[in-house]
Amino acid sequence: MIHSFTQSHLNSLPGPDDIHRFELSNGIILLTRPNFNSQSVVISGYIQCGSMFDPQGKLGLARFTSLALMRGSVNRDFQQIYDALESVGASLGFNSSVHHTSFGGRCLSEDLSLLLMLLSDSLRHPTFPEDQVERLRTQLMTGLAIRAQDTEEMASLTFDEMLFANHPYGLPEDGFVETISQISIEDIRQFQKKSYHPHGMVIVVVGAIEPQACFDLICQIFGNWKAENTLPLRKFPMVNPLREKIRKHISIPGKSQTDVIIGTVGPKRRVPEYMAASLGNSILGQFGMMGRIGDIVREKSGLAYHASASLNSWIEAGSWEISAGVNPANLSRTIDLVIRELERFTSELVTIDELADSKANFTGRLPLSMESNSGVAGALLNIERFQLGLDYYWRYADLVNSVTPEMILETAQTYIHPETMAVVSAGPEI
Tens of pLDDT, residue by residue over 108-119, are 999 999 999 999
Per-residue pLDDT band at 235 (split at 50, 70, 90): confident
Task: Look over the chain and give the mean of its residue pLDDT values, rounded to a whole number.
Answer: 95
Domain-wise residue ranges, the chain = 7-222, 246-427
CATH topology of domain 7-222: Cytochrome Bc1 Complex; Chain A, domain 1 (3.30.830)
For residue 424, CA distances in Å to 297, 317, 319, 384 come to 17, 20, 14, 34
Share in percent of the chain as helix, strand, coil (round to 5): 50, 20, 30
Per-residue pLDDT band at 228 (split at 50, 70, 90): confident
Could you give the CA distance from residue 107 to residue 91 in angstroms, rounded to a whole number?
7
Q: Are 266 and 159 in contact, with CB atoms under 8 Å apart?
A: no
Q: What type of residue is 210? A: E
CA dihedral sign, ordered 67, 72, 75, 77: positive
Question: What is the model's pLDDT at position 1?
Answer: 41
Question: What is the model's pLDDT at position 393?
Answer: 97
Asked whether residue 55 carries a pLDDT value surpassing 50, the answer given is yes
Tens of pLDDT, residue by residue over 373-418, are 999 999 999 999 999 999 999 999 999 999 999 999 999 999 999 9
Tens of pLDDT, residue by residue over 299-343, are 889 889 999 999 999 999 999 999 999 999 999 999 999 999 999
Provide the β-strand partners of residue 23. Answer: 29
Question: What is the model's pLDDT at position 229?
Answer: 65
Could you give the CA distance from residue 412 to residue 416 in angstroms, rounded to a whole number?
5
What values do phi and psi take at 22, rounded to 5? Answer: -125, 155
Asked whether residue 2 carries a pLDDT value surpassing 50, the answer given is no
Question: What is the model's pLDDT at position 5?
Answer: 53
Helix H or strand E segment including 306 = strand 304-313
How many Cα atoms within 13 Å fall on the side-chain side of residue 281? 23
Per-residue pLDDT band at 4 (split at 50, 70, 90): low
Per-residue pLDDT band at 45 (split at 50, 70, 90): very high
| DSSP 8-state assignment for residue 30 | E
Identify the residue with better confidence: 11 or 124: 124
What values do phi and psi take at 102, rounded to 5? Answer: -105, 160
Q: What is the CATH number of domain 246-427?
A: 3.30.830.10
Tell me whether residue 171 is exposed, middle or buried, using C-beta atoms within 10 angstroms of its C-beta: 0 to 12, 13 to 18, 19 or more.
buried
Question: What is the model's pLDDT at position 259?
Answer: 98
Q: Do domains 7-222 and 246-427 have the same CATH topology?
A: yes
For 57-106, give the DSSP string: GGTTHHHHHHHHGGGBBSS-BHHHHHHHHHHTT-EEEEEE-SS-EEEEEE
